[in-house]
Amino acid sequence: MNEFTIATAIIMFITATLFWRIIRGPRVYNRLLATGAVGTNAIALLALTGFIFERPEMFVDLALTYALLNFIGTVAVAKYLENNPEEVDPDAEPR
C-alpha cells in the first residue's frame, strides 16, 4: 500500500465519524457544519483518487467543481436557516 491509499483510508474513517455527527445532532448548525466537513473530505478524496489512478488533472477539476457546489449549498442552507429560525428552534419567535 502506498501513502495515497493510507491517506484515503484515514479520510474515509473521518468521514464516517462525521456522518455520526450528522445523524445525532444535537443542533441543526452542528449538522450543517458536519455536512460541510463531509463535502470537504469528498474533495480531498477526489484529489487523492486522481493521484492513485495517476490522473490528477481530471480529478482536481472535479474536486474544484464539487468545492464550489459544496460552498454554495452550505451558504444557501445557512441563509435559509437564518431567515427561518422556527426551522432551527420551534419555540423561536418568527421575524
Q: How confident is the model at residue 8 (pLDDT cuts 50, 70, 90)?
A: confident
Q: What's the pLDDT score for residue 95?
A: 59
Q: By C-alpha distance, which of 84, 68, 70 is closest to 28?
A: 84
- Digit-coded pLDDT (tens) for 22-72: 998 888 888 999 999 999 999 999 998 898 888 889 999 999 999 999 999
Q: What's the pLDDT score for residue 36?
A: 92
Q: By C-alpha distance, which of 77, 79, 38, 44 is closest to 63?
A: 44
What DSSP string runs through 15-80?
A: HHHHHHHHHH-SSHHHHHHHHHHHHHHHHHHHHHHHHHTT-HHHHHHHHHHHHHHHHHHHHHHHHH
Judge if pTM exceeds 0.85.
no
Q: Which residues contact 17 (CB under 8 A, 6 or more apart)?
A: none
Q: Read off the amino acid at residue 93.
A: E
